[in-house]
Amino acid sequence: MPCYKLIKESRGHSMMDLLVEFRQKLAREEFEDVIKVFSSYPRDEYICERGIITTVHSVVPKDHWPAPPVGTYCVHCDAAIQPNQAGVGLGYIWRDCSGNIVSASMKFLLVCCPVIVAKAKAVVAALQDRPKTMHNNYEIRSDCKQLVDDISANDSFLGTAQPIVLIA
């Protein structure tokens, strides 16, 4: 990947900082490769036993991403906030039923809001930036149960497409 030098020289302090910097400096194909690499990395879980913090790398099988039905697209939405500070990072990735990235984007809003509002803004941003060639059904996936329940209970505002909303 030709972006290794950029990664090495990056001054980002958070994952969102890194992704925003990469999105601005890399070609679309290179950025998609970075997203694939980042999303394949196992997450660190910190466990505190007897006052000692250890890092456990969970092994995530390649088939951990449940694909949507054939012919259906899926958008994973998320948001990041700094408590008591203005600034919300929104991110979303559109994938086809094979797991291929169709579109990915990040946005930064200079607002201060609760987590659920930030996550809702990520869903709205993803829907507003839906790939133009996509005319099929789609699923919205979020890790915010309250948001998923609220959208599922009152999904009329999402238009005639009536997407399926799932917890990621």
Topology of domain 73-166, CATH: Nucleotidyltransferase; domain 5 (3.30.420)
pTM above 0.85, yes or no: no
Reduce the DSSP state of residue 124 to 3 states and report it.
helix
Q: Any idea what DSSP says for residue 12?
A: -
pLDDT tens-digit series, residues 44-57: 433 333 333 333 33
**Chain centroid offset of residue 62 CA:** 18
Tell me the CA distances in angstroms from 86 to 64, 109, 111, 150, one per residue in order: 34, 8, 5, 25
131 closest CA partner among 28, 24, 1, 25: 28
Answer yes or no: is pLDDT of 133 > 60. yes
Over residues 158-162, the mean pLDDT reads 45
Distance CA 21, CA 15 (A): 10
Over residues 137-145, the mean pLDDT reads 84
164 closest CA partner among 146, 142, 131: 142
Over residues 90-97, the mean pLDDT reads 88
Task: Considering the chain, tell me which residue range(s) the CATH 3.30.420.10 domain(s) occupy.
Answer: 73-166
pLDDT tens-digit series, residues 48-86: 333 333 333 334 344 456 778 888 888 888 888 877 888
Answer yes or no: is pLDDT of 109 > 80. yes
